[in-house]
Structure 1
Amino acid sequence: MRLGVLILPETSWPDNARRWRTVEDLGYDSAWTYDHLWWRSLSDGAWFSSVPVLSAAAAVTRRMAIGVMVASPNLRHPVVMAKDAISINDIAGGRFVLGVGAGSSGAGDALVVDRVPLSAKERADRFAEFVALTDQLLHAPVSSHSGRFYAVDSAHMLPRYPPPLAVAASGQRGMALVARYANAWITMGPTDFSRDYRPDECLAIVTAQTEALRRACDRAGRAMTDLDRIFVTTGWAGDPLRSASDCLALAERYAKAGITHLVVHWPRESGVYAGDPAVLHDIAATALPAVHEL
């Protein structure tokens, strides 16, 4: 199993750059950032755009994978996102991962593109077109497309430096997109944000999702082992930032559920994902080698 850290884009670059370099220096396998205009309970604070942040992160790191978690049609057009992804991947020397998701009505940017929030079915329809077109743009030097949501006329994508595509999905349609197009699958477990979940409930949901992914891959004639399977931890999974031993125990549980890449959040001073950043040093020193053996 690999272990990554998600760094919220809420601090100015001098401090944020230190965080990205620290994650790499400690030996973590990846670092990520969210892609929104603003985000849920942190809507009144600073929040920087993911593309310039990741471009800068690509320039100050050398080894670990870096990625966006996740870009969505709520905010991004596939042509611009694909061009940005290719450019960041060039700066990163091939270490960038383009994470994409359908978006939600409560993420903070649902009305950027649309006058009214789309229904779940409409978001799924748009996302299917978004993923297929993004994949085409990443792999063809010139693309044209005419669909329900997007029209593209001779979009040139040169030089060709396509990053791997990671697709966030939980339902049957999304899993089919993962099986057909993705290099990696992303989940946060439960998708109903109107209620809380116990850690055992979260684990059961991820286990069921992994099995659903396996079935989707079987239908597509693809081995699920071809895919990196990424779980982004939330409070529903437990608290991997309480201690290095808690992080290792959580990694062990999710490795058995079929996860190959665990992502924890950089600890914040207060509020969501609160904790002591020193725990990342403890995890790297005492738990990370064992996580890599899972």
Structure 2
Amino acid sequence: MRLSTVILPVDRWHEGGRGKWCRAEELGFHTAYTYDHLSWRTFRDGPWFGALPTLTAAATATERMRLGTLVTSPNFRHPVTLAKELISLDDISGGRITLGIGAGGSGFDATALGQEAWTPKERADRFAEFVPLLDRLLTEDSVSAEGTHYSALEARDIPGCVQRPRLPFAVAATGPRGMRLAARHGQAWVTTGDPKLFETGTPEQSRQAVAAQIARLGKACAELGRDVDEVEKVLLTGFTPDRNTPLGSVDAFVDFAGRHQALGITEIVLHMPIPDSDFATDPAMFERIAVEAPAQLRTA
């Protein structure tokens, strides 16, 4: 099982931001992700920096660790401009970028450009166009396409990605249409569990929900003639009923991770601690988990 982290872009680069990314690499995390939002929930009235510039800076400050978004969405992105930025970022990082991508939600990003928030169906419709077009843009030198929501006219993306045929997609999805996109285009699939269980569910119910999601992913892969084992399965923690328990001790985390590994999860992502926030965990314990837990999970 891989252990990764997500670093929210709340610090000025020269006042702690750079240090967090370097420390994540020192701790041995497989990947360090960041949210690709314009603002987010309880952080809305505080500092919040752009994901792609932050990842560009992180790419120059680190050497080995993979980097990525968790997740980018169509809420304020267009496939043509996003592809150009991703190709540049993949080049700067030496081929260490993963694109986490999802359909987006109805939060602050959904209306920041002045539009009405899209309905769930509209988000799904846009996502179904966005991902295939982005796939083409990252793999073909010149792309023309006319869609209902997204189009391209001789969009040039030379020389393409360092990673071939393109940088990997980690598709966040739980519904049938999203699962089909993950099965067709994803090198990984991302879940946060079942949001309906966040407040009142139990850990066992949450694991059952994740197992059911993985089964649906397997069905979507089978329909395309693809082996579901080819798709990495990523759990972003912090949104399950037992969200605070795993970071209480190394043993608690190993138990949490082991139970999800048994379901088929292959990568677990922990939020780097942020004081006085929803992610205000003990930094020392966070680092102990990063260093000690992977070996225990391999042994188990």
- The question of 1:101 aligning with 2:113 is answered no
Name structure 1 gaps, 5 residues minimum.
Answer: none
Instruction: Identify which range, 235-244 or 5-14, moves more after superposition.
Output: 235-244
Partners of 2:197 and 2:240 within 8 A in 1: no
Partners of 2:102 and 2:172 within 8 A in 1: yes
Q: Which residue of 1 aligns with 2:267?
A: 261
Structure 2 counterpart of 1:246, from 245, 252, 274: 252
Shift of 1:235: 4.3
| Residues 240-264 of structure 1: per-residue CA shift (max 9 Å, x gap) | 2212222111110110111101001
1-structure distance, mates of 2:23, 2:29? 9
The correspondence of residues 114-133 of structure 1 with structure 2, limited to 5 A, is 115-133=115-133
1-structure distance, mates of 2:207, 2:299? 20
- The question of 1:65 aligning with 2:59 is answered no
Partners of 2:235 and 2:269 within 8 A in 1: yes
**What one-letter code is carried by the residue in structure 1 that aligns with 2:42?**
S
- The question of 1:8 aligning with 2:12 is answered no
Structure 2 counterpart of 1:197, from 201, 204, 208: 201
Name structure 2 gaps, 5 residues minimum.
Answer: none
Q: Which residue of 1 aligns with 2:42?
A: 41
CA 1:170/1:218 → structure 2, altered by over 3 Å: closer, same or farther?
same
The correspondence of residues 226-241 of structure 1 with structure 2, limited to 5 A, is 226-238=230-242, 239=244, 240-241=246-247
CA 1:151/1:113 → structure 2, altered by over 3 Å: closer, same or farther?
farther
Shift of 1:272: 0.5
- The question of 1:80 aligning with 2:81 is answered yes
CA 1:235/1:132 → structure 2, altered by over 3 Å: closer, same or farther?
closer
CA RMSD of aligned residues (A): 1.5
Secondary structure at the aligned position of 1:126 is classed as helix
2-structure distance, mates of 1:267, 1:253? 23
**What one-letter code is carried by the residue in structure 2 that aligns with 1:2?**
R
Q: Which residue of 1 aligns with 2:216?
A: 212
Identity %: 42
| Residues 220-275 of structure 1: per-residue CA shift (max 9 Å, x gap) | 10001111111100142523221222211111011011110100100111220111
**What one-letter code is carried by the residue in structure 1 that aligns with 2:285?**
V
Task: Normalising by structure 1, report the TM-score.
Answer: 0.95
1-structure distance, mates of 2:88, 2:20? 22
**Aligned pairs, how many?**
293
CA 1:258/1:194 → structure 2, altered by over 3 Å: closer, same or farther?
closer
2-structure distance, mates of 1:235, 1:143? 38
| Residues 169-205 of structure 1: per-residue CA shift (max 9 Å, x gap) | 0011101001111111111111448854332222111
Partners of 1:267 and 1:274 within 8 A in 2: yes
Secondary structure at the aligned position of 2:125 is classed as helix
Secondary structure at the aligned position of 1:81 is classed as helix
Q: Which residue of 1 aligns with 2:134?
A: 134
1-structure distance, mates of 2:198, 2:250? 30
Secondary structure at the aligned position of 1:236 is classed as coil
Partners of 1:190 and 1:202 within 8 A in 2: yes
Partners of 1:199 and 1:237 within 8 A in 2: yes
Task: Normalising by structure 2, report the TM-score.
Answer: 0.94
**What one-letter code is carried by the residue in structure 1 that aligns with 2:127?**
F
Shift of 1:113: 4.2
Shift of 1:87: 1.0
Instruction: Identify which range, 75-84 or 284-293, moves more after superposition.
Output: 284-293
CA 1:242/1:145 → structure 2, altered by over 3 Å: closer, same or farther?
same
**What one-letter code is carried by the residue in structure 2 that aligns with 1:44?**
D
